Amino acid sequence: MNSLPTVNPWIDQLAPYVAGSAKAPGHAHPVKLSSNENPWGASPRALDAMREAAAAAHRYPEGSATILREALATLHNLDPDRIVCGTGSDEILQLIPSLYCAPGDSVVYVRHGFMVYPIAARRAGAEPIAAPDTNYTADVDALLATIRPDTRVVFLANPNNPTGTMIPASDVARLHAGLRPDIVLVLDQAYAEYLDAPDPDGALALATTAANVVATRTFSKIYGLGGARVGWATGPKAIIDNIAKVRAPFSVSNSAIAAATAALADQAFVATCRAENNRLRAELVSAIEGLGNHGLTAIPSVANFVLMACPTQGPLAAPAIHAGLMARGFITRHLPGQGLPHAVRISIGTEPETRGVIAALRDLAAA
């Protein structure tokens, strides 16, 4: 008698990625602050380009996204032949362990890091290992101490999701200097544009000069194109070429290429979103700090969200706050699956949305 198909054991160990909720029972139009999206949307120029590109929906896209790669190279002073685009940066992050790990190898990432990293490791049959952090921030010494002889990839999100913390370029360089040359260091800069610097932690520069560093970015955050699913990476040509070999054919659609290229050309829109985000983030942090006597703490963030640490018990514990905000029409993110059962992540919304969630937090604290 034939047995049923059996999945590879390392796939059986996977926990699927869980996206931020978009629904709040009893609210037809809740305020979604669960997915770190740009509440101001995409540049009007990007939306116009997307609509125009839709007329060619019957045509396959140009496979290597040459126009977009050239625009990225011009903006960031990079070699277009050392850029690869994907279906969000997620596709690229998923592929790297598949390229460089064998079953039984290990992948290191920071505790309380992006959920995709352990998934990408398991997908390749590798063991994900979370390095300890310090005060919700990557600790270079702890990362280096976690490296094993079988480690093949190290992931570092900087700024980090879901904590919003960041280490400086000097620490990133020290991390790289402490790694064996056969380890691929992946520097995930998904939130880099929220800092007013072209390369805030030196990841792009390091990916240009080092033989084992890849820097990734996305159009899903400040560019407001999460639904278009487009991201990119740069690094040594050998690694970029290997990623290009295994990524899905036509992985970036015509509309996504057009929208992302137009979005890059509208840096004034990016600057406006950055300034508004940083202003409202400071307002949210100040409000949480004002509730410190209730046991609420804002973890310092440089991204478009704030991680709020809560009491472990009582009416202001994280599950209760998450539920209380949901009942008031504000969807946030409770993070027990990332080792943060005591924390709620709140994305920055528009001014009315941010002030609304602040009022809801104060209401919960006063109850």
Report the pLDDT value the prediction gives residue 16, as an integer from 0 to 100.
83
Enumerate residues 6+ apart whose C-beta is below 8 A from 42.
Answer: 223, 224, 225, 228, 259, 263
Would the CATH topology of 20-41+268-366 be identical to that of 44-266? no
Report the pLDDT value the prediction gives residue 1, as an integer from 0 to 100.
58
CATH number given to 20-41+268-366: 3.90.1150.10
Report the pLDDT value the prediction gives residue 13, as an integer from 0 to 100.
82
Structure tokens at 69: 């790669």
Where are the domains positioned within the chain?
A: 20-41+268-366, 44-266
Q: Which residues of the chain have pLDDT under 70?
A: 1-2
| pLDDT tens-digit readout, 206-237 | 999 999 999 999 999 999 999 999 999 999 99
Domain 44-266 belongs in CATH node 3.40.640.10:
yes
Sign of the CA dihedral 289, 290, 293, 294? Answer: negative
The one-letter code for the residue type at 349 is: G
How far is 40 from 276, CA to CA, in rounded Å? 10
Averaged pLDDT score across all residues of the chain: 97
Share of the chain above pLDDT 70, in %: 99
